[in-house]
Amino acid sequence: MSDFLAKAAPSDSRHWQAVACLSLMTFVLIASEFMPVSLLTPIATDLGITEGQAGQAIAVSGFFAVITSLFGNRLLGRLDRRIAVLLDTLVMIGSGLVVTFAPNGPVFMLGRALIGVTIGGFWSLTAAILVRIVGPAETPKAMAMLQAGTALATVIAAPLGSFLGAFIGWRGAFFIVVPVGLAALVWQWLVLPSLPASTSVSPRRMLGLLGHRVFAIGMAATTLAFMGQFALSTYLRPVLETITRLGIGPLSLVLFGIGIAGLVGTALAGWLLRRHLSTALIGLPLVLATIALLLVPLAGAALPATLLLLLWGLCATPIPVAWGTWMTRAVPNELEAAGGLQVALIQFAITAGASAGGLLFDHVGWWSAFLLGALLLVASGLFAIAASQPTKGSLA
């Protein structure tokens, strides 16, 4: 494998164009995955389903992302990874069309399943693809560019979806994925180099990493952190509308503010994690749990709720970066297998958190989803205490 990587193409302008087009792909994917969060109410009204059921759109995409991240590489076999990325993009475009023209809930969920296939397939290949495009020495810079697409989508997906939904409807908001996806497809076709398959990571190899006790604890903490976040954040719009009683303008501003705070958190993550990785792994989920508990009595007051949610955005975005950094130190020789497993567990966590939160939201009350999120985040912090000990060493 080291010989293969040593022969990776040098970093010229064409290769950085390839990285940039993959960053655009991550932007569209993340925006598509989480846009339902800001459009639950109109989706539910139009399709004749409850807001909790509409929130299952996140769960459905997450479920299919888990399946694809675990088995996708094996199914691709020897297929050129350039062709795999192009196929992922075509599936994403198809998802946008199905969701846009969905006549009912089941067809809408079919479209969400397709975006899940794209998420799992694309993200499970990104690290290996970037190394091969720019070479090992430039991989950190390439990863930063890729995360820029994620960060930008995190900032604007929710407020943009809310804003567009008010003017062109939720279907129009989702349809925007189609022309942007087509542009990404053409760009990929022009700049992505041929990437013949080199290795195949099996689910058995991924799951075998869980035999390392500390690694397993870290993955459990990661899973609980994402479950806790999405048990709460998936249902922010209906709470802000019905409990905080914000109109569409203030609602869009609050969602945009949460995104901007998240972008600031991402920018600060590098400095924080270089110096205080263990503190971040333990402290960030505990801060989020505190915010979730405070929102239960304060959600009806616009100013306190807004300030708490801005703090939520600031503290939530460094968590995936923190656990990614932890993984590179814990299993530096098994990053491809560990990365695929982490993608699967994160998507499972999104699915489980959104699903459990939706059931509680519908059958118990909005506050119960927030309490569930707090409980899961506290559990993540406790698991992180054990997992953070070996970050200066190596398990594999």
CA 80/CA 78 separation, integer angstroms: 6
169: left (phi over 0), alpha (psi -120 to 50) or beta: left
Euclidean distance between the first and the last CA atom of the chain, given in angstroms as a whole number: 16
What integer pLDDT is reported at residue 161 of this predicted model? 74
**Joined tokens for residue 71:** 């088995």
- Looking at 77-138, list the stretches that DSSP marks H as alpha helix, in order from N- to C-terminal side: 81-100, 105-134
Give per-residue pLDDT as tens, 119-166.
888 887 777 777 778 775 666 566 667 766 776 776 676 667 777 777
Q: State the DSSP H helix or E strand holding residue 356, giving kind and residue range, or none if neither.
A: helix 335-363
Between the alpha carbon of residue 10 and those of residues 83, 133, 138, 141, 336, the distances in Å are: 21, 8, 9, 14, 21
C-alpha span between 273 and 276 (Å, rounded): 5
pLDDT reported for residue 395: 57
CA separation for the pair 137, 6 (Å, rounded): 10
Instruction: Please give the pLDDT value at position 136.
Output: 59
Tokens representing residue 339 in the block: 């990365």
How far, in Å, CA of 337 to CA of 203, rounded?
8
CA distance 136 to 5: 7
pLDDT at position 224, please?
97
Nearest to 316 by CA among 364, 363, 259, 368: 259
Q: How confident is the model at residue 143, as a pLDDT?
A: 66
> Tell me, what's the pLDDT at 138?
66
Predicted local distance difference test score (pLDDT) of residue 248: 79
Name the residue type at position 136: P
- pLDDT below 50 — which residues of the chain? 1-11, 391-393
Q: What are the structure tokens assigned to 165, written together?
A: 């939904």
